[in-house]
A and B are shown apart, each in its own frame.
Chain A
Amino acid sequence: MVQPIDLETVKQVAKLAKLELDDARMDEASSQLGRILEYVNQLESVECPDGIEPFYGVVESKDAIREDAVAPSLPRNEVFKNSPDSDGEYYRVPKVLDRES
């Protein structure tokens, strides 16, 4: 398996997970993740018989299909009440694209 995690890998993972952590927190996370990975690495020694299927949960490979029927959904104004910023019709977010680009 893998060695406990180095700081550069933690920084990369934090970036993928969209977490802008400061240096102190990054160091702390690195040591805590290392401790957890060290523990879970014990699975390496568990022998799995050839061909054993992974188990992803009790409900396996079941498609839930329903009629595509029109039904009431939540009122938009109720849903937007929880949003930090909206114009009543859309969520508003910081600028995504620069005008020049």
Chain B
Amino acid sequence: MPNEFASYSAVELCRLIESGNASSLDVVSSFLGEIESSNDDVNAMISVSENCLETAKAIDNKRSRGQSIGPLCGIPIAVKDGICTKGLRTTAGSKMLETFVPPYNATSVDRLELAGGIVLGKSNLDEFAMGGSTERSYFKPTLNPWSKDHVPGGSSGGSAACVAGTMAPLAIGSDTGGSIRQPASFCGITGLKPTYGRVSRYGLIAFASSLDQIGPMAWTAEDCALLLSAVAGYDPRDSTSANVATENYLDRIEDPISGLKLGVCTEHFGDGLDSEVEKAIREAIDVFADLGADVKTVSLPHSASAVATYYIVAPCEASSNLARYDGVRYTTRAVADSLEQMYSKTRAECFGTEVQNRIMLGTYALSSGYYDAYYLKASKVRRLIKNDFDAAFEEVDLIVGPTTPTPAFELGSNLSDPISMYLADIFTVSANLAGIPAISIPCGFSKSGLPIGLQLQGRPFAESTLLSAGHQFQKQTDFHQQRPSS
């Protein structure tokens, strides 16, 4: 039976539940039904929660007794499998953690549950979030619900495909170089990477700690505002979380666009940009202009260096973070005679090739004799990239452009050349390097029916502006209301 709630946004589902026109159990059951009928085909979920129906019943009981059920009202949520869920297997898409069952929840999971959200299951990802297609998962690759010959993007490809495939109305992803926005773009949904530190990283399996950030994925900007409001905020258990007041991001969702200064970044419209993507983005900019935005041109002169900078900084941090997988504390160990050999064999057998490559790249770039040329130089260029944004945000409120240079690519097409895969991140990595928030919004379809995403980047902690601009755009367009046919 098709999911009867497939066309609803999460905010609409909340209204249905609050008004008694549907129960949390109805909603959770329908999405579970969709997972049962579609997941074998799409591989968006690695594990499904065994408790979600019981939790839904408990929330319905609370509501029938007149108690508050929280802003998330018993809505089911897919959580990226790189985020720890107490008692629910968390693999990070790796053989290394194939049977890892966390003894604690990530703060973001605690918070979404406290707000009445229900963890529906754990969504697929590139191993340790290292990849842009979800083909690097130790489990099967996730397919794009819009076209099963194409990738859903990555690394939060399972989260994006869960939403696009109507297997979950909301999802949590993480974004280190575009891992929320790029799959959101490829799957025709909305995805927000908040400001670095806006959402606690406690319980997020670390990839590159100065870049990683957790964020919401959903059909609409309004739904992202709902979910971000639940998970954002300072956490003493993450010393890098920002001690900056949080807000209810729905309060300012109706803020008008008129008067906002929108910067079109010249560097985003050069060689390599697909012509259909460019056309969709130009048309979307016209929509913003019609809504009263003051459209100007801005320059981010060092953006051409962003991917190279990222592919030094991120592997360096990863090589350190992944040192903890040593066969001692986590689930899997290779048979060996000595401790040293046990480490080396476990890591050779249980890490995939992309993860091994990045660990080696980081180890090399940090090693004596190469540190200055690579890590130090990249960190200086990172400062230049951040300075570019600081200067641009003197002139404009938001920077607009494509999320990705092309729509989703075909499965397998970028697996042999690492650089071609990395270049899918060319417009997204800068926001992580600078720590600023950015959102991807559906803004069109290619002739072959693949979604196209528009990216808005904002000043630190300007999530409200990004979300309200996205919401105003979505009130004028219907790209976010399309659903894949199969």
Q: Which residues of A contact B (CB under 8 A)?
A: 1-2, 5, 9-10, 13-21, 25, 28-29, 32-33, 35-37, 39-44, 46, 48, 52-59, 62, 64, 66, 74-75, 78-79, 81-85, 91, 93-96
B378 near A43 with CB under 8 A, answer yes
A58 near B196 with CB under 8 A, answer yes
B377 near A43 with CB under 8 A, answer yes
A56 near B103 with CB under 8 A, answer no
Asked if B210 is an interface residue, CB under 8 A from chain A, the answer is: yes
Task: List chain B residues, Cβ under 8 A from A81.
Answer: 101, 103
A29 near B360 with CB under 8 A, answer yes
**Residues of chain B from 310 to 340 with CB closer than 8 A to chain A in the complex:** 311-312, 319, 323, 326-333, 336-340
Task: List chain A residues, Cβ under 8 A from B210.
Answer: 56-59
A5 near B364 with CB under 8 A, answer yes
A20 near B348 with CB under 8 A, answer yes
From DSSP, what is the main secondary structure of chain B's interface residues? helix
Task: List chain A residues, Cβ under 8 A from B239.
Answer: 59, 62, 64
- B181-189, B221-229, B382-390 - interface stretch: B382-390
Task: List chain A residues, Cβ under 8 A from B376.
Answer: 54
Task: List chain B residues, Cβ under 8 A from A93.
Answer: 328, 339, 342
From DSSP, what is the main secondary structure of chain A's interface residues? loop
**A46-B302 in contact given A14-B360, A58-B460, A93-B328 (Cβ < 8 Å):** yes
> What is the CB-to-nearest-CB distance from A40 to chain B, in angstroms, rounded to a whole number?
4
User: Which of A33, A40, A79, A96 sits near B308, CB closer than 8 Å?
Assistant: A40
Q: Which residue of B lies closest to A39 (CB)?
A: B419
- B161-169, B280-288, B366-374, B402-410 - interface stretch: B366-374
- Known A-B contacts: A19-B351, A40-B312, A58-B210. Give 17 more (CB < 8 A): A1-B374, A17-B363, A35-B417, A36-B418, A42-B305, A43-B308, A43-B378, A48-B384, A52-B384, A56-B382, A58-B197, A66-B236, A75-B103, A82-B100, A83-B331, A94-B338, A96-B338
Task: List chain A residues, Cβ under 8 A from B341.
Answer: 20, 94
Q: How far is the CA of A79 from the CA of B383 in the complex (A)?
A: 40
A17 near B383 with CB under 8 A, answer no
Q: How far is the CA of A10 from the CA of B361 in the complex (A)?
A: 9
B328 near A91 with CB under 8 A, answer yes
Q: How far is the CA of A15 from the CA of B360 in the complex (A)?
A: 9
Asked if B435 is an interface residue, CB under 8 A from chain A, the answer is: yes
Q: How far is the CA of A62 from the CA of B381 in the complex (A)?
A: 22
User: Which of A19, A25, A56, A82 sits near B329, CB closer than 8 Å?
Assistant: A82
A84 near B379 with CB under 8 A, answer no
> What is the CB-to-nearest-CB distance from B242 to chain A, in angstroms, rounded to a whole number?
8
> What is the CB-to-nearest-CB distance from B130 to chain A, in angstroms, rounded to a whole number?
13
Q: Which residue of A lies closest to B382 (CB)?
A: A55
A52 near B380 with CB under 8 A, answer yes
Task: List chain A residues, Cβ under 8 A from B331.
Answer: 82-84
> What is the CB-to-nearest-CB distance from B280 to chain A, in angstroms, rounded to a whole number?
28
> What is the CB-to-nearest-CB distance from B92 to chain A, in angstroms, rounded to a whole number?
13
A96 near B367 with CB under 8 A, answer no
Task: List chain B residues, Cβ under 8 A from A57.
Answer: 196, 209-211, 240, 435
B330 near A16 with CB under 8 A, answer no
Asked if B357 is an interface residue, CB under 8 A from chain A, the answer is: yes
B336 near A53 with CB under 8 A, answer no
**A46-B103 in contact given A14-B360, A18-B344, A36-B357 (Cβ < 8 Å):** no
Task: List chain B residues, Cβ under 8 A from A75.
Answer: 103
